Amino acid sequence: MIQLTLIFMCYFSSTFAENGEVLGSRIITNSSGKVGPMYFKSADGFWMHLHKTRSTRPKVLDIQNGNCIVDGKIVGSPCAVQEDRTVITFNEVTNYEVLVLENSIRFYIVYFAKDCKFPTPKDGEIIVEKSIPLYRFLGGKTEENVVFAMKGTDRNGIFLRREDSIICEWKDSNSETDECPNLIVDEVNGLIIFNATFSKANDKDYETLIWGKYFRSISVNLDWTNTGEAPEVKACGKSDD
């Protein structure tokens, strides 16, 4: 069951992880040096691809013989698909802005943003800063508030997915399901906001939330078991609390 609360906000405003181990989405804020190993929770493999902002041609990331491969070249190691997770490493910070890993259940996203500085979003693009941290350590908690935001006012086609189920869809700003309220549309600042408080389900220790439009989405992971701090918290000036 989801307890949803809408808040108006202006634009300016092994199978389980050990404590402190991130197993999902994150932001890489350093500009040079090795990245990883990064771990992504899943019992299945992923389709993995790298993007440059506003580019229409993603680059496929493959794992072969313990290496990460892009365009036939080794870009990092160790890389592996293990029983309960996928391991990704870059020998040097990539010149791409986004890494996406997706399968039928999970969707993870890694942003590469030096000092947590993102390009100014254009209409239809996610405002990443509103959703930081992307990995929430929630051991001992039973609910968590998450904010999602998108630049622009075109709200058609926006959805919210929880694990492999779409639980909210909107046409215009109106929800098409009884469970979800309408979106907040800030016409003055050109901004769409969705603010929700998610309650822990009794049978869930880990969940993935995906919000946005197809090909323009963001994911936030809720780790209800472990404690720690997401890697971007200090650089981005955000708090897990």
- Domain locations in the chain? 2-16+121-226, 30-112
- Report the sign of the C-alpha dihedral through residues 104, 96, 35, 62, in that order: positive
7: pLDDT confidence band, cut at 50, 70 and 90? very low
3: pLDDT confidence band, cut at 50, 70 and 90? very low
Percent share of the chain, pLDDT over 90: 59
Contacts of 144 (CB under 8 A, 6+ apart): 136, 138, 197, 198, 222
List strands edge to edge, sheet with 85-90: 35-41, 85-90, 80-81
Q: What is the pLDDT of residue 26?
A: 96
pTM passes above 0.75:
yes
Q: 3-class SS at 189? A: coil
CA atoms within 13 A on the CB side of 181: 14
* Angle (nearest 5°) at CA 198 between 193 and 202: 165
The dotted CATH code for 2-16+121-226 is: 2.60.40
- The chain-wide mean pLDDT, for the chain, equals 85
pLDDT at 173 over 80: no
Single-letter residue type at 85 = R
Spatial contact of 70 and 59, defined as CB atoms under 8 Å apart: yes
- Token pair, residue 237, equals 């000036």
